[in-house]
Amino acid sequence: MTVDIGTGVKVYDVVATRAGRRVEVTSGRTIIEVTEVTRSGTPVRTARFMASRVVALVEHPASHASTPI
């Protein structure tokens, strides 16, 4: 995710840190929320950004490789 910070842009990478976890993106009128969740749906960590400041949001499909990138 690329976010405007006023003096430039900053890139945030939100990834699923363990096997079986996934990243969910929820967007509303004012907030974009990116949450890492477990298989059962329990949130592990959440990042919230003002929608007006988000420059780019890129989602990549899950990798089938055995090691995380």
Q: Which residues pair with 10 in a beta bridge?
A: 3
Separation CA 36–CA 7 (nearest Å): 28
Q: What is the pLDDT of residue 65?
A: 56
6-61 pLDDT, tens digit per residue, is 899 999 888 888 888 999 999 989 999 999 999 999 999 999 999 989 988 887 77
User: In the structure encoding, which two tokens stand for residue 52, read together?
Assistant: 């007006």
3-state secondary structure of 59: coil
Q: What is the pLDDT of residue 15?
A: 84
